[in-house]
C-alpha cells in the first residue's frame, strides 16, 4: 500500500471514528436523509390502517415501529371546512389502540379519548362534519396509559383543514414544495435500539420520521406547518443565519396579521404555521435550530428543571438540555415557477370570545401526587395530578352546561412546565401570570404551556355536542404525564334536556332535591302522600352506586356526597314511593 493510500485509509478510519463518536455523544451534525414528506389523503372517506413493522434507523439494528398505511409514521389528511368525512380506522395490531383528532371540534364519541377503544382487528369509523377553521391539526392515539408508547413508535400524523378565507390569501400552498409539514419529535433509544419511553435520554431528533433530515427549499417564501409531536421536549425555534420569520397561524386558526419573529417556543402538542423568505439565498445552507440555551428554566429542554432535591434524576445527563442544536438542514435551491415572494401582513380578522358572556369560571391546579400524599414531595417529578385527582375512566371531573362561555384558570404548583390541552374547543388566552399573552399566543389555541409556579387564564365557549354520558378530556400533553394520569374529563350537558327541579315539583311526587349542583349534601324532600321509601343512586354509566331506605317518618332525606369515592359528575337518583317512581338528575361538582 502506498503512503498516500494508507493516509487515505487512516483518514477515512479517523472520520468514521469521528462520525461514530459524534453520533454517540451528540446529534449528528451532518444532515444526511431527505426529509420525508408524508403522503396526502383527500376526499370524504379515509382508510387508515394501523400497522406494525420495523425500520433501520441505525445501521444493522432493527427498530420495531408503528405506522398508518405504512409501518412508520402516518399520511397527511387534508380536509375542507364544511365537508362531511368518514375515517375508517382499522387496527391490525395485536394491542388495543384509539385515534384522536387533536384540535378538531367534534362530538365526544367521535373524538376518541380513552373511552372509544379500537380492539385488535376492529375498525372504528367515526363520521363528522369539519367545523374547524383552516389551520394545522394532528391525529394520534389516546389510549389509557398507552399514548406515549404508541405515538413515540410512529402513530402521529397531520390533519390539515382548509377553508375559503385562507384560500383567498396569497400564501404558499403547494404541499411538499412550498407548503411543508414538519412534525418535530425527539426520541430515546435503548441499548437494543428500541424506541424507549418515559426516559430522560431523548437525544435523536426526527422530522416527519426522518432522522438527520435535510430539505431542498426553493429560494422563495416557504410555509412550514410546525407541530411539536414530541413526548416531552419543548423547542425554541430559530434560524442559524439569524433570519426573521413570520408566524401566520396558531393551533386552531390563522392570525389576524403575520408576526415577525426570530424565536418561537413550541411545546408538545402545539402547532404554528410560519413563513420564511429564502429569496436570494440560493446555494446556501441554513439550519432550523432549537436555541434551548435560551429556554426559561423549568421547561423540559431548558438547562435546568427544579432545584436541589426537587429535580429530575438524569435530566442533566441529556446533552440536548440547555444547548443549541440543529433540527433540520435547509439547502436553498432554485425558485419554482410562480413562486410566492412576499409575506402578507393582513391575514384573517380575529374576533375574540366576549368576556361579557362568561357565566362560570373554574380552576385546574397541577400538583405532584407525592406532595398530595406528603410522601417525599419532589415538585419536578411525577406522577402529577389535576385538582388532586388522577385520571379515572369511570368518573367525570367537570360538568359544563351547553351554550356557555367560561373562564378557566390553570395553576401550576409544580416546578416543571406543563403544556395543557383541552379537547372539543379552541380557547383565547387572556392572562399568563397576570400579564397579557404574547402576540404568538393571542390566536386560537388548544394547547398552552403553563410555567412552574405560574398561572394561565383562558376563555372558551362550549356550544355543540351535548352528551350526558360520553366525556371529553383535558390533560398535560407531556405524554408520560398524561399516561400517568395527569388528565381529567368533562361532560357538556344540555340542561334543557334534564328533568328540571321545577317540573319535578309539579309532578305527583312533589320532590325537591337541593342544592343542585352540590359538592357536599343532597337533600331530597318528598312530601306526603308520596313519601319516598327508596332512593337509588346511579352513575352516568347506569351503575348503581348506593341506595338508601329512610326509616323515619320525615319526608326529608339528606346524604353527604363529599366523600372521595363519589367522583364529580352527573348522577341519576331513582326515587320510589309506594305508588310510583321517578328519576331525577343531580350533579356533583
Ligand atoms: Cu393531542 Cu388529548 O391530545
Ligand atoms: Cu405535565
Pick the ligand that lies closest to the CA of residue 141.
Answer: 1
In DSSP notation, 38-81 reads PPEE-SSEEEEEEEEEEEEEETTEEEEEEEESSSSB-PEEEEET
- Looking from the CA of residue 140, the nearest atom of ligand 1 is 1
Residue 103: all three cell numbers together: 384540535
Higher-scoring residue by pLDDT: 51, 433: 51
Between residues 377 and 47, which one has the greater pLDDT?
47
- The pLDDT score that the predictor gives to residue 476 is 97
Q: Which atom of ligand 1 is nearest to the CA of 474?
A: 2
Distance 481 CA to ligand 2 centre (A): 5
Q: What is the pLDDT of residue 570?
A: 79
What does the pLDDT read at residue 530? 59
The pLDDT value recorded for residue 577 is: 65
480 has pLDDT over 50: yes
With a Cβ cut-off of 6 Å, ligand 1 is lined by: 100, 102, 140, 142, 269, 421, 423, 473, 475, 477
pLDDT tens digits for range 114-124? 888 999 999 99
Kindly give the distance from the C-alpha atom of residue 390 to the centroid of ligand 2, in angstroms, as a whole number. Answer: 12
What is residue 504's three-state secondary structure?
Answer: helix
CA–centroid distance, 426 to ligand 1, in Å, is 13
CA 507, CA 511: separation in Å to the nearest integer? 8
Say how many residues make up the chain.
589
| Residue of the CA atom closest to atom 1 of ligand 1 | 102
Instruction: Tell me the sheet residues that pair with 400.
Output: 492
For residue 444, the CA-to-ligand 1 centroid distance in Å is 16
Q: What is the DSSP letter of 565?
A: T
DSSP class of residue 357? Answer: G
Peptide bond into 398 cis (omega under 30): no
Question: What does the pLDDT read at residue 549?
Answer: 66
| Gap between the Cα atoms of 356 and 405, Å rounded | 9
User: Residue 397 — very low, low, confident or very high, per pLDDT cuts 50/70/90?
Assistant: confident
Closest listed ligand to the CA of 113: 1
Q: How many A from CA of 290 to the centre of ligand 2? A: 21
Using alpha carbons only, give the angle 63, 68, 72 rounded to the nearest 5 degrees.
25
Coil, strand or helix at 176:
coil
Nearest CA owner, ligand 1 atom 3:
102
Ligand nearest to the Cα of 480, by number: 2
Stretch 461-465: mean pLDDT, rounded? Answer: 94
Lowest mean pLDDT among 217-226, 318-327, 386-395: 386-395
| 92 pLDDT more than 50 | yes
Contact 358, 407 (CB under 8 A): yes
Give the mean pLDDT of 144-172: 95
439: left (phi over 0), alpha (psi -120 to 50) or beta: alpha
Angle at the Cα of 440 from the Cα atoms of 435 and 445, rounded to 5 degrees? 90
Question: What structural domains does the chain harbor?
Answer: 355-493 (2.60.40.420), 501-588 (2.60.40.1930)
CA 102 / ligand 1 centre spacing (Å)? 5
Cα of 77 from ligand 1 centre, angstroms: 17
Average pLDDT, the chain: 87
Give the global pTM: 0.83
The closest of 510, 512, 523 to 560, measured between CA atoms, is 523
For residue 583, what pLDDT is reported? 74
Ligand nearest the Cα of residue 298 is 2
Amino acid at each position: 500500500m502506498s503512503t498516500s493510500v494508507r493516509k487515505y485509509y487512516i483518514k477515512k478510519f479517523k472520520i468514521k471514528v469521528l462520525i461514530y463518536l459524534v453520533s454517540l455523544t451528540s446529534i449528528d451534525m451532518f444532515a444526511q436523509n431527505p426529509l420525508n414528506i408524508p403522503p396526502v389523503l383527500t376526499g370524504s372517506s379515509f382508510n387508515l390502517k394501523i400497522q406494525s413493522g420495523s425500520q433501520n434507523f441505525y445501521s444493522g439494528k432493527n427498530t420495531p415501529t408503528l405506522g398508518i398505511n405504512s409501518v412508520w409514521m402516518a399520511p397527511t389528511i387534508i380536509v375542507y371546512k364544511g365537508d362531511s368525512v368518514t375515517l375508517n380506522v382499522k387496527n391490525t395490531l395485536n394491542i388495543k389502540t384509539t385515534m384522536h383528532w387533536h384540535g378538531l371540534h367534534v362530538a365526544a364519541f367521535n373524538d376518541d379519548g380513552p373511552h372509544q377503544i379500537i380492539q385488535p382487528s376492529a375498525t372504528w369509523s367515526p363520521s363528522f362534519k369539519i367545523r374547524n377553521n383552516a389551520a394545522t391539526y394532528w391525529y394520534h392515539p389516546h389510549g389509557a396509559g398507552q399514548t406515549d408508547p404508541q405515538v413515540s413508535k410512529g402513530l402521529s400524523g397531520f390533519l390539515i383543514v382548509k377553508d375559503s378565507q385562507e384560500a383567498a390569501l396569497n400564501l404558499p400552498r403547494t404541499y411538499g414544495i412550498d407548503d411543508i409539514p414538519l412534525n418535530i419529535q425527539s426520541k430515546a433509544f435503548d441499548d437494543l435500539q428500541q424506541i424507549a419511553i418515559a426516559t430522560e435520554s431523548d437525544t435523536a431528533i426526527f422530522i416527519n420520521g426522518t432522522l438527520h433530515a435535510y430539505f431542498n427549499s426553493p429560494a422563495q417564501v416557504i410555509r412550514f406547518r410546525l407541530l411539536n409531536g414530541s413526548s416531552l421536549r419543548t423547542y425554541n425555534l430559530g434560524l442559524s443565519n439569524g433570519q426573521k420569520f413570520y408566524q401566520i397561524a396558531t393551533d386552531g386558526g390563522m392570525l389576524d396579521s403575520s408576526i415577525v419573529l426570530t424565536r418561537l417556543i413550541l411545546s408538545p402538542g402545539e402547532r404554528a404555521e410560519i413563513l420564511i423568505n429564502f429569496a436570494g439565498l440560493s446555494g446556501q445552507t441554513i439550519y432550523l435550530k432549537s436555541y434551548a440555551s435560551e429556554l426559561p428554566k423549568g421547561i423540559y429542554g431548558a438547562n435546568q428543571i427544579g432545584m436541589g432535591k426537587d429535580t429530575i434524576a438524569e435530566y442533566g445527563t441529556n446533552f440536548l438540555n440547555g444547548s443549541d442544536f440543529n433540527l433540520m438542514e435547509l439547502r436553498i435551491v432554485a425558485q419554482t415557477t410562480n413562486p410566492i415572494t412576499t409575506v402578507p401582513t393582513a391575514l384573517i380578522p380575529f374576533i375574540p370570545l366576549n368576556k361579557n358572556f362568561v357565566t362560570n369560571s373554574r380552576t385546574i391546579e397541577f400538583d405532584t401526587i407525592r406532595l398530595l400524599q406528603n410522601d417525599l414531595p419532589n415538585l419536578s417529578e411525577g406522577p402529577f395530578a389535576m385538582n388532586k385527582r388522577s385520571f379515572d375512566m369511570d368518573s367525570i371531573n367537570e360538568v359544563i352546561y351547553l351554550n356557555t362561555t367560561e373562564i378557566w384558570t390553570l395553576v401550576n404548583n409544580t416546578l416543571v412546565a406543563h403544556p395543557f390541552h383541552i379537547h372539543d374547543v379552541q380557547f383565547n388566552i387572556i392572562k399568563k401570570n397576570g400579564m397579557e399573552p404574547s402576540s404568538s399566543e393571542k390566536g386560537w389555541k388548544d394547547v398552552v404551556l403553563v410555567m412552574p409556579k405560574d398561572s394561565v387564564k383562558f376563555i372558551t365557549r362550549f356550544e355543540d355536542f351535548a352528551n350526558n354520558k360520553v366525556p371529553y378530556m383535558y390533560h398535560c400533553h407531556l405524554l408520560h404525564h398524561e399516561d400517568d394520569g395527569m388528565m381529567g374529563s368533562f361532560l357538556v350537558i344540555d340542561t334543557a334536556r334534564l328533568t328540571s327541579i321545577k317540573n319535578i315539583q309539579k309532578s305527583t311526587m312533589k320532590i325537591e332535591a337541593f342544592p343542585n349542583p352540590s359538592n357536599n349534601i343532597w337533600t331530597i324532600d318528598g312530601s306526603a302522600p308520596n313519601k319516598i321509601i327508596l332512593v337509588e343512586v346511579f352513575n352516568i354509566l347506569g351503575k348503581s352506586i348506593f341506595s338508601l331506605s329512610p326509616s323515619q317518618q320525615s319526608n326529608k332525606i339528606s346524604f353527604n356526597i363529599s366523600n372521595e369515592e363519589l367522583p364529580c359528575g352527573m348522577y341519576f337518583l331513582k326515587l320510589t314511593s309506594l305508588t310510583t317512581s321517578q328519576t331525577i338528575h343531580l350533579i356533583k361538582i
